[in-house]
Chains A and B, each alone.
Chain A
């Protein structure tokens, strides 16, 4: 495999994953997840490197990656807030939380704070409807959110 810009650990992980599928293209989504974990977002350079590792064309990699809403194609804040606003969360006040993030942190949906601390992504249902409203901060899951609670949680992310 072409090494490109990936760490040895990531390369080994990917080689192990690749063996579980009948062809290397099937390892593309796992590879993109690893790449995003390593670099924070998928630049053209990173996607070129993924293409080399899996023996795919750049078009195949970019064409696939761009379909999925959880891959990022520009630099993100240090912490990514993924807040659900779908029906169950909306019924229990998710919109007030969106307003609060705007007022308190200057954070718009799809935007990043000026200090690069937070990015906000509006989600389409994260399966926490019974304990709505809910969000992920990076991979950490929080539910039963209120305006007080969301501020308290976000203060832990510097």
Chain B
């Protein structure tokens, strides 16, 4: 497959506008400006593109809702708060291909009639901030941003807005509150941001990778794009592989590539001739899968059938030496730290779960702890403002579904790890 999102990133100057232009960059802005905004939205609908942030909502549909709202101004926000542990797929776009993202945002803004855009960037990526600021400056100098873009009656102003270390700000309504200068806590929905978003105006929040797909959709058309990968949720996809593999990294492959192919063909298999034990397929919010299930396809449609989710396609690979109780304890510590505190099931539940997991890992587990873990996660699932609580409960339930015996061994004092 021809690379679309990671095109030319081996070029050490790939973030420079001249190199981007040389490789045909920004061509699709002119092409898009010759189309009517509604025709672009139609192409995006036809393409079947689904949001790459994790939820997989159809992008064209989201855009359709926003454009149907009569209020102006409309805001376009790029979600670059990549914080799901295990995820580093947007980083190569931000650091090595920033003009692709900017081009995608210009086209999207034109289609959505948005004149102001923000890239909400996590503060943990200081290098990406410098690179994006520089790329935006270059785009202004060449009149791809600003007023009367390319001599047309189009304006678009773009700003990088840094977060300050809060995982929850990857959730779009929390992100909007954070952009407005508030604590980043999720809002109740509805109303959805497409109607009442930033500064109470219609706001479209799309992930970095989603927006980076837009120029290519304009270039080849929605129809041709829809034939890449799994036709039910097509397109090129960035898979980021970490953990016990020989060649960790970000791989651009057709949507629906199997976990086996990702791990063994692209990431070079398991390190040090060890056996594969388990895979967290889409970041720590997604339920773990045992080695026996790696023939499933990594896409939005197939993963739920296997009892997990594509999430942010953050494939964390674990070999036979890994203690699953320890992994689960670390994951729950993360969720407890990142729970924003707004709603009780998540704020209290993550803390309770972490304390029970900690005591099991330290060898102080009691009979009945596993039932208690299940009971608490049941009380969190579907009862929180945002998906953080579901993620925490779902990750635990996945772990118990496939590796309950390890928890039992720890509680019975028969575990090899003895206190992790």
Interface residues of chain A, those whose CB is within 8 Å of chain B, are 20-23, 25-30, 32-33, 63-64, 67-71, 82, 85-88, 90-92, 123-132, 136, 139, 141
Contact = CB atoms under 8 A, between A and B. Distances in A.
For A29, A125, A131, A136, which residue has the most chain B Cβ atoms within 10 angstroms? A125
Given A20-B159, A124-B337, A91 B244 contact: yes
Interface string B170-196: 000000001111111100000000000
Contacts of B314: 129
A124 B167 contact: yes
B164 A91 contact: no
Given A91-B243, A123-B124, A130-B240, A69 B164 contact: yes
Nearest to A54: B181
A129 B164 contact: no
Contacts of B123: 33, 70
A25 B180 CA distance: 6
B94 to A, nearest CB: 10
14 contacts: A64-B181, A67-B183, A67-B340, A68-B165, A87-B316, A90-B327, A125-B84, A129-B242, A130-B88, A131-B248, A132-B248, A139-B126, A139-B127, A141-B126
A53 to B, nearest CB: 13
A116 B24 CA distance: 51
Given A91-B318, A127-B88, A86 B330 contact: yes
Nearest to A61: B181
A29 B178 contact: yes
A88 B89 CA distance: 14
User: Closest 7 A-B residue pairs measured CB to CB?
Assistant: A70-B165, A68-B164, A28-B181, A129-B242, A25-B181, A67-B183, A69-B165
Contact of A30 (B157, B161, B334): B161
Given A25-B181, A90-B327, 5 more contacts: A29-B163, A29-B178, A67-B184, A82-B124, A129-B87
Given A20-B157, A71-B164, A88-B242, A125 B86 contact: yes
B159 A129 contact: no
B340 to A, nearest CB: 8
A123 B83 CA distance: 11
